[in-house]
Each structure stands twice: as structure tokens, then as C-alpha cells.
Amino acid sequence: MPRPSANDVTQGALPRISHGRGVYLWDTDGRQYIDGSGGPAVFSIGHGDVRVNEAVARQMERVAYGYRYLFTSDPLEELSEVISDATGMSDMVYTTSGSEAVESAVKIALQYHYDRGDPGRVRFIGRRRSWHGNTLMATALSGFEDRQRAFAGALPSVGRVSAANAYRLPEGVSREGLVAHLAAELETEIMRFGPKTVAGFIFEPVVGAAGGALPAPEGYGRAVAEVCRRHGVLGICDEVMCGSGRTGVWRASADDGIIPDIITVAKSLSGGYLPLGAAVYTKEIAEVMAAGHGGPLTGHTYTGHTACLAAGVAVQRIIREEALLARIQDKGPRWQAELRARLAHLPEVGDVRGRGYFIGVEVVADPETKAPFDASLGVNGRIRAEGLRRGLICYPSGGHVDGAAGDTVILAPPFNASDAELDEIADKLVATIEAVVAGLRAA
């Protein structure tokens, strides 16, 4: 994720991290913070788990890294089996970040079309208010103006369709008609480019940084997948932030009733213990690339880094053995409902949304019109700063209304947070938003 300035995050100097255990972190001044957002939705089993640390240490003692194009390894084979079982997709390219995973997904899509004799398919379509990463192509695919502006002159041209936002409907579109409207808009954009030129359409099943844990509406995934199939366009689901179990299912797009052609994962995959991501793709794509070039033409020096994979295996084993996805499926909807009820006395809380342990709270100036606060007020940054002062880590998100205005805060706690810890996160968030709203009213 892009690194905000100190003023953006804390309205002062950043605290210096000391150590972490479970859902808590401490700075070098001894202040304790509860990690309500898993950093940027990364920490799936919390901090300092000795089982993961020991698994990485054992691998490091044997060999830190066996170059992927010379060796396979036990961690690679084991994690590949975990991902294949979880996704129903047999092939993957490992990376060390979500941005690299998205870049790999783009290259896989391009190579697939080339190897099947359709080299003219080189264009991509993304959505407004989306975020796909920090490489140039991933940034180009994104609909996040603030993060694109400095690089605009170098970004490849990408088609753009509307965000799938049931809280903020397009003008003249009803909630019931939203999915049909968005599917028709995608088809129109494909036709504008020329259907024989479009390689892929990318979207987040639950939008993270750019939308504040905004889930796609019911039926959206199936509708856009059908449009893509009709025109030979690959469907790419970016699950870097919302996937690997964050929503209560391993593959976030499963809740949308679809199996994409390519998915990207990272963050919760290795839980922040070591950098790890992957672009995962279907058997059909793998077979086409194998016949054309012998396999995917994308990879990096640290593709399949052995110690990183060992961390991923250990994290995924803990998630499986402790049945943490079943816990999210059970607790997530109830926790979201509790948060909504506890914030109901604040009219400035316009929306509480999300899936599983990926929840967004949108704060508005006018609940009737849904008008956002002026961007100059920096409301989401104020919430982040006030939260830190109260010992809460949450993730701010801004600009989702018009590219500048719009304020949300994301909660994405570790999967194994206890009920008491979830209550503490909720207590601190409510108090934080109350304090920020009181200040805004008094201004």
C-alpha cells in the first residue's frame, strides 16, 4: 500500500513500533494498540505467533530460498495444494506482493490470448473507485485518482466503468435495476473498445482501500461474468485485500457465485509474517500457455521464495486447524449488525457494510442526501488519528464519492480475535467516531 505521510496518519510524528502479540501492538513508549484493521487488512492470525515464527526459522535453517526455476520445495508444493483445494484452480504464479500478483494476472491474460492466436486482445477495463496496486499497470487499472495523478502521463490507457455501489446509486438507477445497469455499462465499454481488443475485466468482489469495504451487490458477479464470457474477455477478481478467508470464504468471489478466470491473492495469505502473493488461474489458461510457450512468461527473482511460502503454509494450517473461516461466517454478520446498532445514534454514520471480517463505516455530512464532508476537513484521517490516541488501529479511506470527498474507515481484525477483543475494537471505534463527530459539529 502507498505510505501516507506522518501528518496524513497521525497528525504528528509516527509512533515507533516495538513488538506485537496476538491482536495487540506496542510502541517504544509502552503504549498499547488493538489492531482493529489488521494493518491494511493483512494480519489474519495476529502478531507474534510462535508456530509461524518457528516454521519460518526451521525453513531458514534448511535453506532460505531455492530459486523457483531450479527447484520446487515442500512449502511450495504444500501451499499450492492448499490454494488449489480452496479455489478449484490448479495453477498459480507466486509473488511477494499484491501489486506483483495483479501485474502477473495482466501478463497471464495477455499471454493466454496471444498463445491461443488472438494477439489483438491487449486492452483492459477496470472500475472507478478501485485500487489494484503500485506498479504502473496496476495503478493504471485502478480508479483512484489521488494515487494516479502524479503518474498519469506514463499510465497505459484503461477502459473504465462505474463502481458497484448500492449505497450511492448512479443517477436515475434504482437499487433493483443496479446490476442490470452495471452489466450493460460494461458491455457498452467493451463494444466501444471493440470486443476483439479487450483482454480482461478486473474488479474487487469487496472494494478495499478505494471504497471502504464496499461489497458488490447481489447478482453483480454473475452478470458481469456473463458479459465477459459472451465477448471472450477474461474475468479477473482482485482478492488481494478481501480474499484468502477475510470474508469468511477462502475465495471471496465464491460469495458472488462465480469462478473467475484469474484471481489475485496476497495479504491474509501469509498474514504479514513474510511477503507473499499469487496470481491463480484456471486449467484452461494453463493448458493454452503450456501449448504456446511451455508455461507462463511471468515471474520474478523471488517468485516462490521458500521461507515466504513456509510462512504461508503455517498461517493457512492454523486457519484450517482452528476453523477460523467458520468462525468468521458465524461471527462476522453478527458483529457487523452490532456495530451498526451501536453507531445508530450518530446520524453522520451513513452506512455500515462489508462481508465477514472486512467492514467499512462511511461517515457523511448529511445523512438525507448522503453528501460527504468537504475533503479539506480530512475526516477519515481524523478518525485514524483519534483512534490511535485511544489505542485503536483502523484503516482510513477517502475520496470515494468524487475522487476527493468521501470518508470511510475499515475494520479488518485478525481471524482469531476473541469476542472480548472484538468488543474492545467496537468500543474504541464508537468512542472515536463520537469524538470526531462532536468536533465537527462544534466547528
Domain boundary among 262, 297, 321: 321
| Number of residues that make up the chain | 443
Residue-level pLDDT at 442:
95
Contacts of 35 (CB under 8 A, 6+ apart): 20, 23, 24, 25, 43, 46, 47, 393, 413, 414
258 found inside a domain: yes
Give yes or no: residues 183 and 36 share one domain: no
Q: What is the pLDDT of residue 9?
A: 40
Residues 96 and 159 in one domain: yes
Percent of the chain at pLDDT exceeding 70: 97
- Cell of residue 166, nine digits: 448500492
Inside any domain, residue 199? yes
Here the contacts of 144-151 (C-beta below 8 Å, separation 24 or greater) are: 144/209, 144/210, 144/399, 145/399, 145/403, 145/404, 146/398, 146/399, 146/403, 146/404, 147/2
Q: Both 15 and 124 in a single domain?
A: no
Residue 127 and residue 264 in one domain: yes
Does 10 have pLDDT greater than 50?
A: no
pLDDT at position 133: 96
Taking residue 403's Cβ as centre, other Cβ atoms within 10 Å add up to 17
* pLDDT of res. 379: 98
180: β partners: none
| Domain-terminating residue out of 299, 321, 343 | 321
**97 shares its domain with 163:** yes
Structural domain contains residue 386 = yes
pLDDT at 6 exceeding the cut of 60: no
Q: Is residue 1 part of a domain?
A: no
Q: Does the pLDDT at position 5 exceed 60?
A: no
pLDDT average, residue stretch 325-349: 98
Q: How does pLDDT run across 384-416, given as a tens digit for each residue?
A: 999 999 999 999 999 999 888 999 999 999 999
End-of-domain residue from the set 305, 321, 337: 321
Number of domains in the chain: 2
Task: Note whether residue 308 is domain-resident.
Answer: yes
Residue 4 — pLDDT band, cuts 50, 70, 90? very low
Mean pLDDT of 65-78: 96
| Whether 279 and 397 share a structural domain | no
Greatest distance between any 2 Cα atoms in the chain: 67
pLDDT at 443: 86
Could you tell me if 226 and 257 are in contact, meaning their C-beta atoms sit under 8 angstroms apart?
no
What percent of the chain has pLDDT above 90? 95
Residue with cell 458477479: 221
pLDDT band at 140 (very low <50, low <70, confident <90, very high): very high
Q: Are residue 338 and residue 190 in the same domain, yes or no? A: no
Mean per-residue pLDDT of the chain = 96
Domain shared by 254 and 169, yes or no: yes
Whether 14 and 159 map to the same domain: the answer is no
Please answer whether residues 351 and 438 qualify as being in contact, where contact means their C-beta atoms are separated by less than 8 angstroms.
no
Look at residue 388 and tell me if it is in a domain: yes
Q: Are residues 22 and 63 in the same domain?
A: no
pLDDT at 7 over 90: no
Question: pLDDT tens, 226-249?
Answer: 999 999 999 999 999 999 999 999
Show the domain range for 347: 6-49+323-442
pLDDT band at 12 (very low <50, low <70, confident <90, very high): low
Give the CATH number of the domain where residue 398 resides.
3.90.1150.10
> What's the CATH code of the domain at 199?
3.40.640.10
- What is the arithmetic mean of pLDDT over 321-350? 98
For residue 146, pLDDT over 90 is answered with no
Q: What is the 3-state secondary structure (H, E, C) of the chain?
A: CCCCCHHHHHCCCCCCEEEEEECEEEECCCCEEEECCHHHHCCCCCECCHHHHHHHHHHHHHCCCCCCCCCCCHHHHHHHHHHHHHHCCCEEEEECCHHHHHHHHHHHHHHHHHHCCCCCCCEEEEECCCCCCCCHHHHHHCCCHHHHHHHHHHCCCCEEECCCCCCCCCCCCCCCCHHHHHHHHHHHHHHHHCHHHEEEEEECCEECCCCCCEECCCCHHHHHHHHHHHCCCEEEEECCCCCCCCCCCCCHHHHHCCCCCEEEECHHHCCCCCCCEEEEECHHHHHHHHHHHCCCCCCCCCCCCHHHHHHHHHHHHHHHHCCHHHHHHHHHHHHHHHHHHHCCCCCCEEEEEEECCEEEEEECCECCCCECCCHHHCHHHHHHHHHHHCCEECEEEECCCCCCCCEEEEECCCCCCCHHHHHHHHHHHHHHHHHHHHHHHHC
369 within some domain: yes
Looking at residues 184-202, what average pLDDT do you find?
A: 98
Residue 119 predicted with pLDDT over 70: yes
Answer whether 272's CB lies under 8 Å from 308's CB: no
Among 39, 399, 378, 373, smallest CA distance to 211 is for: 399
Q: Which residue has the higher pLDDT, 8 or 5?
A: 8
Question: Does residue 33 sit in the same domain as residue 66?
Answer: no
Check pLDDT > 60 for residue 217: yes
In a shared domain, residues 335 and 402: yes
Query: 149-170, pLDDT tens digit by residue?
Result: 899 999 999 999 999 999 999 9
pLDDT over 50 at 25, yes or no: yes
